[in-house]
Amino acid sequence: MISIKQKTLSLEHKFQGKGLHTGQVANMVVKPAPEGAGIVFHRVDLGPGAYVHAIATNVSSTARSTTISEGKASVSTIEHLMSALSGMGVDNALIEIDNVEVPILDGSARPYVEAFLKGGFVEQDAAKRYITLPREVEVRDEKTGAYIKAVPSDSPSIDLTVDFGSRILGVQHAVWNESVDYATQLAPCRTFVFFHEIEYLFQNNLVKGGDVDNAIVIVEHPVSDEQVARLASLFNVPKLAINDNGYLNNLQLRFPDECGRHKLLDLVGDLTLAGGRVNARIEAFKPGHSINTKMAQTICEAISE
């Protein structure tokens, strides 16, 4: 059997941008790392020892994004970057960041993936870590009906369904396996929010960095001209309108099912916290960061039994 090797980046990549929820600007450098290092964040603003390992046991919050913490250091909204690294097969990377939240950029993983592809990768000596499940595992949220099930398999795959009870989105279905080109089929898919959630999120100290360039806005319920004008003011743009298809006209969809694909992008990132690529057939219904990271933790517990 051919042994697949671990992989890191050929060179370092610099990113700068505001965080989706904090609105604070962060400077971030994604660097190559030695084999076996995994994905590690370094909060350089907090000093030389402020490292946070991207592992399931370090998950500290899943409120609208995934946050990891170790000691006094935390890093939030890591899922798009984690997804990009996993999608490109990167096992080892050191991420230096000078603020609490990873830059949202355009709301997808594409800016990361484009940079990584341009810079290239280095194959390392150690074998890639594939996680083999000893048994089927499942996590459920009885309140929402959400669940994720993982069945042992020879290769990783994800079959995902999202259902927000939305007349605009409908029920969306997305699939990933090793034959799907992550860079073109998942990485470009941006985060999304419902119009009626936005003011509440602003009032609760979230999406301070949201704007017309980094999020799809779904207009599920009738809204007044005054409400649209107020949102334009929040986003600091002169004017917004609603398209016939029920989306705010701040951007054009990259795929008809872009929102479902984005949920798959998130799940790929969150499951990476299990410590490697999971050799399992994963079925996910109505996933979100809370249940995604619970599955990553459950996988870790199953393989340590």
- pLDDT of the residue at 214: 86
pLDDT (tens digit per residue) in 64-94: 899 999 999 999 999 999 999 999 999 999 9
Nearest one of 280, 251, 254 to 267, comparing CA atoms: 280
Catalytic residue at 13? no
Q: Which CATH number fits domain 5-128: 3.30.230.20, 3.40.50.620, 3.30.499.10, 1.10.10.10?
A: 3.30.230.20
pLDDT at 143: 93
What count of other Cβ atoms lies within 10 Å of the Cβ of residue 283?
16
> How confident is residue 205, by pLDDT bands cut at 50, 70 and 90?
low
pLDDT tens track for 138-156: 999 999 999 999 999 999 9
Q: In terms of pLDDT, which residue wins out, 241 or 44? A: 44
Domain ranges of the chain: 5-128
Q: The tokens 């340590």 sit on which residue?
A: 304
Q: Read off the pLDDT of residues 45-60 as tens digits, 9 standing for 90 and up.
A: 999 999 999 999 999 9
Average confidence score pLDDT of the chain = 93
60-69 long-range contacts, CB within 8 A, separation 24+: 62/288, 62/289, 62/290, 62/292, 62/293, 63/206, 64/21, 64/201, 64/206, 64/207, 64/289, 65/20, 65/21, 65/289, 66/269, 66/270, 66/273, 66/289, 66/292, 66/293, 68/41, 68/273
CB-CB contact of 214 with 190 (8 Å): yes
Q: What is the structure's pLDDT at 271?
A: 97
